[in-house]
Every structure is written in C-alpha cells, then in structure tokens.
Chains A and B, each alone.
Chain A
Amino acid sequence: MDPSDHTGLTLSVESLQEFQVQEIGLDGQETYAKPLSMSENLAKLAHKIDFSEDNDDKKGDETRPSTSVKEKEEKDSKEGVGTSFQAQQKQPWEAVKTKLRDALTEVSVLYDVVNIARMNREPPYQYMVLEKVSGETTPTTNEIAVKLLEKKKSLEGAAKILHAGAVSMKHTSSSDKKALVEQKNFHDELLRLRQCWRLKRVGNSILGDLSFRTSGSRFWHSGTFEVTKTTEEEFEAAERRGIQPCSLKVTVPSDLEGTSYIRVLIQEGEAEIASAYLMHSRRSQISLDAHWQERLEAAQNVLFCKELFAQLAREAVQLKASIPHIVVGNQIISSIIPGVQLVIRLCHDANMSSSHDVTPNFLQAAPVREKNANQNIDLEQSLHQLLRELHHSNLNGPTPRPVTTSFTFNNKRRRLAGPLALDRREISELQQNECVLEKILKQSRHIVLRDRTAKVLDDMAAAIQDPLIMVHWSVLQQPLQATVKVFISSPGYEHFARTSMQLSIGYEDIKAILKDGRTVSLSYQEKDLKNLLTCQLSEHRVNAVFDLAKSLRMQIIHYNFFVGVGPAPKLGNSSAVVVATPNGKRIIAIRSDPVEGPRVLIQDENNMRDKTDVVTDSKWEVLPSGFKEVDMSKIPGRNFVHKMDLLMGNLAHE
C-alpha cells in the first residue's frame, strides 16, 4: 500500500467484508447485520461450547479464576438465552436441568456466603462486589448472568479465604506458631529499639536518627536509618546460617556502614612515638548479621568519626601555623615541634563481611594493635571529649540577659566588657577560642615532651651510678601538665646531700625548679635537660663533700659553685670546695667539672725544706707546699662520697 513503493506498482487493497449480509433487497442492495458487540460475540462463542461436558471438572477448579469466570459467563448466557439451536436440539430437558442447577448453585452459594461471613472477621476484609454487567443482552438474561457471576465470584473469594486459612493453620501447626511469635517479637524489639534510639514514623515507614544533632552537633549528615520487619525469607536464611534471627531489621545509610576510627599518630621521622585509636575495640569488625544495637552503634561511631575528622580538617585549613597543616584526603599532618609530626587519619572500613569472615580479620588486626605498646589513651580520650565539649557548647549557651534578647555573648565576661571597660588586649583575649585541633596539638606536644623527658631521665639514671638519680613521677597528671621530681643522692649518704629538682612539663617547654629556687626553662631539645642534669650532678658532688666535711668538723675554707679560675669547663660551671683538716695540717681541695668529673687535691704539709741561714724559725719548716692530685680510683669505697669520707677521715687523724 505504500505509494512510494520502489517497485512502482500501485496496489490497492480492500478489506474483506466484515459484516454479515442480512438480506439482499430486490434491487440488489445488501443490508448488513450489525456487528456483534464484545459481549454478544462472547455469548455467541459460548454457544459453541457444550457446558454440560466440562461442567464437573470446572466446579472444583478454583485455581484458575479467570477461565472459570469466563466459562461461567458462557454457561449462563448459553442457558439464559436458550436460543441456541444446538441446545434446543440436543437437550429437550434443558429448562428443567437449568432450574435444578440453579437451585443447587444457590444452596451452595448460600453456604459459602455464610462461611465468608464467618471468616470475614479478620483482615483482609473481602466483600463480594456486585457489579452490573453492561451489555446489549436482554435484561432478563443479564440478570441471571450477573447472579451467576456474583456467585462465581463469591465462591472464589470464599475459596481464597479458606485456602489462606488452611495455609496459615498449616503454617502455625508446622512451625510452632512462629509467625505469631515473630509478629510479637517485632513489637518487642521495636519497643527496645525505641528505648535506645530516636524513632519517628514517616508515612508507613519507621525512621530513626543516628545523628548527634540533639546533643548539639551541626554536622551535615542526617544520620537517618530505616526500621523494617524481617521478611520470612530473611528469617529463614538467617536460621539456616545458624545466626540468631531477629524480627527487626535496620537499614543504615550506605556511607555509614562498616567501621571507622580515627588514628592519631605522633611520628618522629618514621618512628612512632605515640598513637591513639578512636574506636571500640570489640567493634573492630561489624557484620551485616550483627544485632541491630551493634550495627547502630557502629554506624553512629562512623558518623562521629566523620564529624570529628571534618571538624579537624576544617580547623586545619583555617589555622595559621608557621608550618602549615596539610590536609590530604583522609589525613591531616601537622608539625608539632621540628622533626615531630602529628598525623590524624580517618580510617573507614566499609567492608561489611558476614559473621563467618569476622574471626580471621579480627585475629589479623589484633597483633597490630598489641604491637602498639606506646598507645596513648590520653589522646584518644581527649579527641572524644573535645568534640563532645564542642557539641555541648553549641547547645548550651549561657542564659541571655535580659532573657528576652535573641542575641547573646557566649561569655559573661564578654557581655560585661563594656561596663567593665575592658581594653583592646583583654577583649581580643576573650575572643580567642581554642579549637579542637589546637588543643590536640598542645596535648601531643606535651606528650612528646613528657616522653622525651622520661627517656632522658631513665637513660641518665641507668648510665650514671654515682651519684644515683631517682625519679618520681606524679601519679596525677593533667592533659597539659606533668610534674616529676628528680632526686640526686649518694647511697649511704642520703642524709648529707640530697639534691632535688622539680621538672614541670608543659606543652611549650619544661620548667625546672632547682634546689636553690632557681627556675630554668628548658626547650623541647633533649640536650637541654641532659646538660642541666649533668651540671646538677657535678654540683651535687661538691655539695655532698661540703656536708660531709661539716659533719667531720673540718674547716670550710672555700665553697663555690661557680669557680671563675682554672680551665673553663665545656659545659656549665665548675664547682669547688676547699676544706682543712681540724688540726689544720692538711688542706683538701675538690673541684668538680660537669664534663671532666671531680678532681681531688691534697696539700702536702710535710715540706721538708732545708734549713737555711736566713730562715731559722722552726715554724717555717711546716710551710705547705703545692697541691697533689689524688688518684681516686685507687681509694677504696663504694662511691665518690664514700671515698671522700675515708680520705678525709684518714687525713683528719694523721
């Protein structure tokens, strides 16, 4: 029919005669029968089927409602119309048969209706719907047809309900009323969920809230999760895998799934000084099959870590530092003190393995964690605490004054800045708020300082036996402050000389308060503390000898910590004490150099000088000569003070 056909041939196609010719007039005019409507056509088709033939098997066939309805329809039209020539010919008792059949049908339908009415007390409520069938069939036939259809439908409905009932009964008896229990469990679980988490109903779904918004968080993530009922299949699947099934299912947003933690590392070059994890140790892995409580907690932890990291990253970008903080991906690197870095890393493990895979992973992770002996709980705690504090401060501002004002200062002092006439410096101090990252930086700086101090003290205490260094750490420590007392004493002579020193370790420097009240500020460099201790040791020796000499009733001729004469020491000051024996015959000089160690010299009194003619007086015979050094290694004794004790004792009784 395509006019643009490439063959160039024009074919005209005419449809066949669709309508039947009713009559042909004398003039040859054809009158067509009106085309049959759908229902008429159906009825016509139905005539061609012998209803009585397959009547029996159709009655019990309820699984195919669509076909049966059709057939019923066919049936009634066939019987009602009664104009079929086939029926008229074949069944002379058709009318009687129809009547009888109708009666039977009515009785059975009535029976079903009663049944339905009884069954109908529980949902789903199903009602029979009477529908008027529109059609061009005659009203009488239509009525019968409708009735039959109606009955057919009610039959179907009844059958359905019966079937559902039977199935449910079967199920109940077979699985120990599990379904009922399940339904009840769901509500129990929901109640329990509601006790721990915030839930709300939106439409037909139940939504929960994981976010920290109620506690003051301003993080963008909504942290919504959905609560649903476990389907039967899932229930059975869980049972099959040997997991305790739960009738309640929570769906957590995909980006909150898995586990995450924040790792804080303090690195010196490649070596790790301290590290902290922000996570639950027992939730190093969370599986999809875990109980909802665990899953929700894990998800909330993920949310918390995300928020914390976002906050830290924002601060790191904003903060101005001499060495700028670097934020790369999930990592913030900032320099605490030269050579030492603070690394904050957000680790997220989105892998939601099923419970069977958990064990190997966990075992794998365990040694890594145990290896970290220098794990620092302080940092971990602080991070947690600091974000909570931030939340708290977001939420709990001070009461505005007057209470009707909408705008308020977050600080009473700030509010009173005007009336108190605070100057610019004081106001700018008020406005300086420390952010979380700054606090963490301070803390980590303190940790580094503390660790270094401890290391130096331990090393020196181990290396130096004479005199002894004793270190007492204060048990109570603050995040930014630690104190340590250092005692230097010689065993056996503790009551003579005891040099004490207090080190207070902050985050910027170490303050050392010495025995004589001097305060020395030490930098982060280990060398400083080492030098200070070396000088203190040297002073201690002289001090101990001084005390000893006093107790031995020696005469103190000279006692000085800062000797200005003699070779200059490489470090600090030489200290010296010069004592004379009680009889005045001998003079002992001790000079202690911080680096070289102590030197002991004795003045020899036995100067046997020849008598001359000029000097005749005998008193000149005992003129002291020069000092001679004592080889201390040859003198017995446990330590320097002991040796000196023996030496002085000997000389005193000569």
Chain B
Amino acid sequence: MGVTCVTQWPVAEGKSMQQTVDFLTKKAEFMGATKTGTFAVDCDTFHASAGNPKFINVLHNSEYPKTTFSITDSNSTLVSDTGFDAILQKLKGIYSTKMSSRIESKGKRYQLADFIVKVGIVSIGSSNRGILVEVEYTPCVILQDCWPLLTEFMQGFLGNGFVPKPPSNLVNKVDVYQPLDTINQYLEHFNQFRKAQVPTR
C-alpha cells in the first residue's frame, strides 16, 4: 500500500472512450509497465427510508478484496470486513439501494516497478461516464514525501501539461496515507460523475 493519486482524464476529441483508454494503456505498456490483471472499484449508495436524507456510500476496491469501506453523509467512515454487506442486506427496511445507482470504475491494472497504474472506465449502470486514472507509488506512505515523484511520474505518463493537485482533504495530512484516502478520492470523483450531465457520446 502506498500513496495514490486518482484523477479524471478527459476523453480526447474525435475519439471514443474506449479508444482513449486504449491509448493510455498502450502508453503505459510502452513505458515498460506489465499488465497485472484487472481492477474494479464500485460504490453503492444506501438511502435511508422515505423522508430521511441520510445515506451511506458503500465502496469496494479490488485492491483490498476483503474489505468494505462505508462513508456516510456526515463523513464518518467505517472500514470493515466484506461481511458488512450481508448486514446491510438485513437492514433492507431501513437502508435500501437501487442497482441502477451503482457506479463503478473498471479497467486494467499495470505495474511498473514501484508504480501501479490503473486506467478505468467509470460507468453507472450501462452508461459510461468518463475515465479515471489511478497511480499508486507503493514504497511510501507519507503523501508529502512522494507527491513530487508521483507528479513527475504522472506527467511522464499523461503528458507534461498535466499537473495533479493533491486531494483537498489530503493536502495538510501529515499522517500515514490510508487505503481509505484512496477510497475518498474515488468517492469524490464518483460524486462529480453523478452530478455531471451524461456525455453526449
């Protein structure tokens, strides 16, 4: 586990989403990265029953196969065993979810030395919404120590014009980087995708 940066990647003009993803993965392969399987990050939102505005976002990350991350509307978090899903099923009367609201990012996972690169297509139901690129630098757990390195790597990968900003909630974080921080980044992007209009193509 290391420091991770998740960023959105715009679909190139005149290209489809899949073509853009292929272009990125080709680039990763060209840099010498090897494919190490696939990955998936999904998010289900459980809404409290009628009238109550409360909700829970339940996220899974294939990188942490035994774990369920839950983030409530009040931003309290829970990192638990996957058995938590079964508990939520029992609470159908109180919290319910719709399969159509599930948002997920799926794609291929590449490894280049200490970096893990994941390029995924974000989709809600069957409609694709955008591209998320995740880059993880595994040996380090302090954000400030490796952000420049991570930035440099991402510029090499995504182009010099790219300047990733550290996630707002992590800028002043002096603590050790947690898997939950990655999940928070994903959730932030997922929320943006949800709010955004469905792209024309």
- A residues within 8 Å of B by Cβ? 417-424, 426-427
Contacts and interface: CB of A to CB of B under 8 A. Distances in A.
Contacts of B79: 418-421
17 contacts: A417-B66, A417-B67, A418-B66, A418-B68, A418-B81, A418-B82, A419-B80, A420-B67, A421-B1, A421-B178, A421-B179, A422-B67, A423-B1, A424-B64, A424-B65, A427-B65, A427-B66
A98 B67 CA distance: 108
Contact of B63 (A418, A419, A420, A423): A423
Contacts of A417: 66-67, 81
Given A423-B64, A424-B65, 8 more contacts: A417-B66, A418-B68, A418-B82, A420-B67, A421-B67, A421-B179, A421-B180, A427-B65
- Classify chain B: how many residues form its interface, as a range: 10 to 19
A256 B180 CA distance: 59
A405 to B, nearest CB: 11
A424 B63 contact: yes
Contacts, number: 39
B83 interface: yes
Interface in B118-162: none
Contacts of B62: 424
A110 B80 CA distance: 94
A426 B2 CA distance: 13
Nearest to A428: B65
A427 B65 CA distance: 9
A423 B178 CA distance: 11
A421 B64 contact: yes
Contacts of B1: 421, 423, 426
B60 to A, nearest CB: 11
Contacts of A421: 1, 64, 67, 69, 79, 178-180
A419 B81 contact: yes
Nearest to A416: B81
A417 to B, nearest CB: 4
Given A418-B66, A418-B68, A423 B179 contact: yes
Contacts of A427: 65-66
Interface string B80-112: 111100000000000000000000000000000
A424 B60 CA distance: 13
Contacts of B63: 423-424
B26 to A, nearest CB: 25
A417 B83 CA distance: 12
A422 B63 CA distance: 8
Q: Which of A418, A419, A420, A426 has the most CB of B within 10 A?
A: A418
A420 B62 CA distance: 15
A420 B68 CA distance: 10
Contacts of A422: 64, 66-67
B6 to A, nearest CB: 16
A427 B64 CA distance: 9
Nearest to B62: A424
A418 B79 CA distance: 7
